[in-house]
Structure 1
Amino acid sequence: MAADPKPLKLWDRDKGKAVEEFMSDHQTTYETRPLRAPGQWLRATPIFDKLYALYQDAPWTRRNIAPFVREYHIDMSEFEERRYRSYADWFVREFKPRKRRFPTDPRQRGAPAEARYFGWKRFGPDQRFPVKEQSLAAADILDNAERAKPFLGGPVLLMRLSPVDYHHVHYPDDGRTLDHERLGRSIWTVSWTAVQNKPDIYIRNERQVNILETEHFGRLGFVEFGALTVGRIVQRHPLDHPFKRGAQKSVFKFGGSAVAIFGEPGAWRPADDLLEHTPQGMETIVRLGEPVAVSRGTS
């Protein structure tokens, strides 16, 4: 039976305290086991995603922007000032120049997305989520045991982008793309309540897998997940061109979404506050560019 969505307890890094976050949504999307939710399978298809995206791109949806900004206290002074043609256009808004900065210390890795973060020092085949013992294995996510081999036993960052967030993803370091593949079909929400009720949600979701060779953090398995009403992951940077730290990589078109980064064993470690709060099942709110990991050889 569906239940009222419950607020998530998060650690707010900037405020230095725990906060609660609530995003209202259709109850059956988040609370009911998907097989029992009427219409859930339809809403999890790319066709529904495209139709919903077309609707949100209609000019009359501009009227939804101001109420959403007020309800979730979004500071629009941080974003470029322009007239948005639709709600979907506003959803992919961009920061004003220099509103977010990446670390100048090459050993510090800046957050590639403005999101809620989990971090693990080591993530092996037997490692499990701190939420009802659901597992996230590199081989499953990357869909290729050989591709996953360099990351077994290595660190992992998992970030969840809320609908209130800036939905562009940036490169964490200088480097180049070694491999890229688009996987998955159905588009499920990536809220933690939904993850509890559908253990294979990250495996089923549309995702884009990138193997990145970086200058200071070694090889990374960089995976972008589409979620309910955000199945379109648009790569902004040509994948056959080298990239720079902080450069825009991709954008999620409307909705919630997630990113996972797998690292080679010993190459880097997640930031201390992520490691502290992850075992408690508490995500940490991190702004784009803020430090989320340190490279090998730093304390």
Structure 2
Amino acid sequence: MSKGFEIQVFNRYANKIEIEKVYGDGMVKFAYGNPVGRMLGPVIASKWFSRFYGNTQDSPKSAKKVAPFIRNFHIRIDQYKKGSFTENPIETSYQSFNEFFIREFKEGQRTFTPNDHEMGAFAEARYFGHENMTDDLTIPVKGSMLRALDLIGNRELAKDFTGGPLMIARLCPVDYHRYHYPDHGKTLQAFSVPGDLHSVNPLALKYRQDIFIKNERRVAILETEHFGKLAYIEVGATCVGKIVQSFDEAGPFKKGDEKGYFLFGGSTVVLCGEKGRWAPSADILNNTAKGIETYIRLGDVVAENH
């Protein structure tokens, strides 16, 4: 997963391994690798702390961080829509850091694969993937922490996904923070699972291997046209102000429709499938076996059905 404190990611488009530049890596190292930081862990991982910090990102003052952030992380801001102050240059068009954080792509910047047998990437993120959720999984956390039951939090619902494929899409603070539906379908049910708000950074996972099942998350059970039932799980993280559902789940959805977004903070979307229905793309599986995530753009192919 990482070399020392370096996070290695395979960039599908550059066809090479890159070292991720981490936003707030000093804070993560302090909170999870420092004895004093670990003592403060319950406070840092509390909902109160994340809500408070998230709220500061709504202030007009926070907008001053946008331009330096764009420069420091080499964000292709020309691909995105302007914020509320449309008369300004895009770097100063956002009224707060949170408005910048949930920026939208311009029309045509991302398209979902049109092929029915191919699943579109539901987030622009770094992906791990497995064909089967089994107890011998070791990446990125111990297998017992990736059981469908633990992720979904409901024994009856989890039965459909036991032994099935799994994908974990990790969104960094620098990323587009809206997430989408990977196929056409409808929502069977949706609910929240209360929990903490630990960091989902790989460094934090190195110290805390139960983060995905300890963190607050939102679960939707989807019935899709080409990939069967899916458990779509949005995982909260430190400083994520809120997980917002922007789609009316009472109606059917189309492949590529926006489902929701995370306010400030990096976070994760986990997708569980029925056994034998589909498998993650070969490059995701190969890189996962080496402990390396694969960077994939929104809408690109992440899995194929059987």
Describe the superposition over 1:102-154 as per-residue Cα deviations: whole angstroms up to 9, x where unpaired. 01111111100000000111112x13232464631111010112111111111
Matches of 2:174 and 2:33, distance apart in 1: 20
Contact (CA 8 Å) 2:141, 2:205: kept in 1 or not? no
Unaligned 5+ segments in structure 1 are none
Letter in 1 for 2:53: Y
What is the match of residue 254 of structure 1?
A: 264
What is the match of residue 136 of structure 1?
A: 146
Matches of 1:10 and 1:37, distance apart in 2: 27
Query: Deviation of residue 155 (structure 1)?
Result: 0.8
What is the match of residue 81 of structure 1?
A: 82
Answer yes or no: is 1:8 the counterpart of 2:26.
no
Letter in 1 for 2:42: W
What is the match of residue 33 of structure 2?
A: 31
Answer yes or no: is 1:66 the counterpart of 2:75.
no
Letter in 2 for 1:242: P
What is the match of residue 277 of structure 1?
A: 287
Contact (CA 8 Å) 1:88, 1:253: kept in 2 or not? yes
Contact (CA 8 Å) 2:31, 2:37: kept in 1 or not? no
Shift >4 Å, 4+ stretches: none
Which aligned pairs between 1:231-270 and structure 2 lie closer than 5 A?
Answer: 231-270=241-280
SS at match of 2:146: coil
Unaligned 5+ segments in structure 2 are 84-92
Over the aligned positions, Cα root-mean-square deviation in angstroms equals: 1.6
Describe the superposition over 1:241-285 as per-residue Cα deviations: whole angstroms up to 9, x where unpaired. 111110000100110100111111111110010011001100000
Which aligned pairs between 1:30-49 and structure 2 lie closer than 5 A?
Answer: 30-32=32-34, 37-49=38-50
What is the match of residue 151 of structure 1?
A: 161
Matches of 1:152 and 1:37, distance apart in 2: 33
Identity among equivalent pairs (%): 39
SS at match of 2:220: strand
Matches of 1:195 and 1:6, distance apart in 2: 12
Output the TM-score relative to the length of structure 1. 0.93
Letter in 1 for 2:237: A
Matches of 1:36 and 1:137, distance apart in 2: 29
Contact (CA 8 Å) 1:171, 1:247: kept in 2 or not? yes
Contact (CA 8 Å) 1:189, 1:227: kept in 2 or not? yes
Query: Deviation of residue 30 (structure 1)?
Result: 4.2
Letter in 2 for 1:47: W
What is the match of residue 18 of structure 2?
A: 19
Answer yes or no: is 1:91 the counterpart of 2:101.
yes
Query: Deviation of residue 28 (structure 1)?
Result: 1.9
SS at match of 2:285: helix
In structure 2, relative to structure 1, the CA distance for the partners of 1:196 and 1:271 (3 Å cut) is same
Answer yes or no: is 1:101 the counterpart of 2:111.
yes
Describe the superposition over 1:149-194 as per-residue Cα deviations: whole angstroms up to 9, x where unpaired. 1111111111100000000000001101111110022110011121
Output the TM-score relative to the length of structure 2. 0.91
Contact (CA 8 Å) 2:54, 2:241: kept in 1 or not? no
Matches of 2:270 and 2:32, distance apart in 1: 21
